[in-house]
Amino acid sequence: MTTDGGLWDFARQDAVPAGVFRKGRWSDGFPCPALAETATTLARTPADARARLCLGDFYRLNGFDDFALYRADGGEMVLGAGPDGFPGRTLGRDAIYASIIADKRAAADVRAYALYRAIRCYAPSGYNGCSGPSRTMEELEAAQVPLSTRKAWFTELKTRYPNSQWAKSLRFYW
């Protein structure tokens, strides 16, 4: 049984809130198609920067930043008390943004939005809220980008893309 519910208290729910994949939000300013179209694009072209940004927006708008089904440290309400069957680290929004920022060939609007979102990952606490759940303080610290780098992102956004809505709306870096 599936519902349209959210991810909070996922392990204790009687019904899987899979409706978020059909009815969840996928855009709030950056033009993104529905999730199914984004998934189709990524299946065909995994490096598509625009589709990756749209996947990041889906994560952000639907509460996936701190969601984890599997946690290696176990726990009473943790689903999946065995080894993780997926290699590598879970894809966080910060990794999506960093790869697009590193791609100097990315389209101007895509790059400007990636810079904007990467900076916003640190608002307002100064800690990266886009890297996914951390199990230890060391893991949390390892996910941080130095303030000097965030300042460089801010400067690049303001100087290279000053007319973008993202540069106009961002007043701080954290």
Q: Which residue has the tokens 């992102």?
A: 153
Contacts of 71 (CB under 8 A, 6+ apart): 78, 80, 133, 135
The overall pTM is greater than 0.75: yes
Name the nearest CA neighbour of 127 among 150, 153, 158, 97: 150
Give the N- to C-terminal CA distance of the chain in Å, as an integer: 42
Query: Residue-wise pLDDT tens for the chain (174 aa)?
Result: 444 455 444 455 555 555 556 667 778 889 999 999 999 999 999 999 999 999 999 989 988 787 665 455 555 555 555 565 666 667 889 999 999 999 999 999 999 999 999 999 999 889 999 998 877 889 889 999 999 999 999 999 999 999 999 999 999 898
Task: Locate the domains of the chain by residue range.
Answer: 16-78+90-169
